[in-house]
Structure 1
Amino acid sequence: MESDFMLFAAVGFAAQLVDGALGMAYGVVSTTTLLAMGVSPANASASVHAAKVFTGAASALSHALHKNINWRLLGLLASGGVLGGVAGTYLLTSIDGDRIKPYVVAWLGLMGLVILYRAWKGVRPKPFSWKSPLPLGVAGGFFDAVGGGGWGPVVTSTLLGSGADPRKAIGTTNAAEFFVAAAVSAAFLSALLSGHWETEGLRDHLSSVLGLIAGGVVAAPLAGWMTKILPIRALTWFVGVLVTGLAIWQAVVLFL
């Protein structure tokens, strides 16, 4: 419907601006919004990753033109992310949506808390060294596929917490996300065509996906400019509160 398209165009635009400025939050914001509208975890993840193929390409091109990419780091992160993303997709499409939704909501809530922690402290403890980006990419890709968001909070936060150059960390993570989104989308399609994943209602979200794509593609070239004019810490607080609040709301709906 036109109303869904316009709503998700606005969501996609805002989420991509934030993602470009912080190196995270497009998938988390988009997925929590879809879950709040009653979409199953697998359908939400498939929809968001389909949109991220297009928004990720636009974002990667923008960062490449602005020379914000470390190409060696990109190759290692993308390789690990593809492996983790495909594995996460297989797990997500193997489990009933109602059974896994509480865990997905809990993961998104955790990501919201991670973002809030970054807003409070400005850094995040490093679970991996940025000098070993392949396992970091695997972890980020896996949780991104299962939760529909998590690539940025896991990868960007770890790189920044490990002392990487912020401009290179954000630009490289955003560029690598394109390859992860493409691999996850291909894995969802393969699972659907092979009969491994049987789903209903995916077509009903087409207008939402198109809205996410339209809003995100328009916003992607503006991300570099936004980093120069917006107070990043205040923006981080806003996203953390939004994501955590949506996750708490979903938990209340699920358990009460």
Structure 2
Amino acid sequence: MGYGLTSSSVLVAAGLKPATASASVHLAQVGTTLASGLAHRRAGNVDEASLKKVAPPGALGALAGAALLSYTPAATARLLSATLLFGLGAIVALRFYRIAPRRAEAAGAPSATVLRLIGLLGGFVDSTGGGGWGPIATSGLLAGSSLPPCRVVGTTSASEFFVTVAAVAGFCATHAGGGGGHGARLDLLAVLLLGGVSAAPLAPRLVTCARPRMLGVLIGGFIMLTNSKTLLHAAGAGESVRSCCQAALLAAWLAALASVRRHADDEEAPAGKAGPQD
């Protein structure tokens, strides 16, 4: 869920143009999402009905987002990308900090319309922000579905392959057409691809035993901290103000991690043992 967001945040913060960073990450994700989707399918974590409804609009949204990002001036694109990434990081961190894990209850599967809207928004944000499909699709499916978390993660991972292919096609089309797009960095692509493909087969095993709140707060806070520099610079903040703001954000992030850590044992208590409610 944090691959595209984290990778894009690091690359943009390092000075790479948003379109180049997003294109590099998405090209690497063609391999990583394929490996991840196949691994989840073998583990029985993919819900075919939801996959068929969320993947096509996700691909359409990704095409539109790639075109918009490639035709946007570099400075504006960097600000847009940082804003989206920071906002998504905040959503991820707050969601996992405030909401304790709950066992799936019979809530009925989300309607086809809801799934299509989730797909369209997730695909668009994924291309323009360099990532975001995981948080949006996973949150949407968890909020309105009776699927267990492992199947939500598996369905999100499998559908992301189609979204990624569409995003790459959009970047390639605008680049070939002279629309201002920027090609992927092959050196970065090789490293991202190697790391992602190596880690993908572990996901089905870890998804049922990892502490989701700790991981969510960790990833979300990292994304916020990484993109805050770009936002503060765009706001005209001086170096001392930027340092103070980032220090405050870092302190809040570490405090949130410590709080989640303290309550982790109670929140993940085995069934039959009552734990404190958030």
Pairwise TM-score range, normalised by the shorter structure: 0.7 to 0.9
Contact 1:123 1:160 in 2 (8 A): no
**Percent of pairs with identical residues:** 34
CA distance in 2, matches of 1:70, 1:109: 30
Higher share in helix: 1
CA distance in 1, matches of 2:195, 2:63: 26
Counterpart residue number, 2:186: 206
| Residues matched between the structures, number | 226
Shift of residue 225, structure 1, vs aligned partner: 1.9
Shift of residue 198, structure 1, vs aligned partner: 4.6
CA distance in 2, matches of 1:238, 1:220: 19
CA distance in 2, matches of 1:115, 1:238: 9
CA deviations over 1:89-124 (Å, ceiling 9, x no partner): 111111111112112111111111111112122379
CA distance in 2, matches of 1:250, 1:174: 29
The structure showing larger relative contact order (alpha-carbon pairs under 8 Å, at least 6 residues apart) is: 1
Contact 1:137 1:155 in 2 (8 A): yes
1:195 counterpart = 2:178: yes
Contact 1:29 1:243 in 2 (8 A): yes
Q: Bigger CA drift: 166-175 or 52-61? A: 166-175
CA distance in 1, matches of 2:172, 2:22: 12
1:65 counterpart = 2:47: no
CA distance in 1, matches of 2:46, 2:178: 38
Counterpart residue number, 1:114: 91
1:138 counterpart = 2:81: no
Higher alpha-carbon Rg: 2
Counterpart residue number, 2:23: 46
Q: Bigger CA drift: 243-252 or 86-95? A: 243-252
Look up the equivalent residue of 1:245 and give its one-letter code: L
- The correspondence of residues 1-256 of structure 1 with structure 2, limited to 5 A, is 24-122=1-99, 130-131=110-111, 132-165=114-147, 166-199=149-182, 202=183, 205-254=185-234, 255-256=236-237
Structure 1 residue runs of 4 or more that deviate by more than 4 Å after TM superposition: none
Counterpart residue number, 2:104: none
Contact 2:89 2:219 in 1 (8 A): yes
The alignment partner of 2:207 has SS state of helix
Shift of residue 253, structure 1, vs aligned partner: 3.8
Relative distance call for 1:170 and 1:229 in structure 2 (3 A) is closer
Relative distance call for 1:103 and 1:164 in structure 2 (3 A) is farther
CA deviations over 1:183-208 (Å, ceiling 9, x no partner): 11011111111222354xx46x3111
Contact 1:31 1:44 in 2 (8 A): yes
CA distance in 2, matches of 1:123, 1:139: 25
CA distance in 1, matches of 2:174, 2:5: 23
The alignment partner of 2:179 has SS state of coil
CA distance in 2, matches of 1:252, 1:164: 41
Contact 2:61 2:124 in 1 (8 A): yes
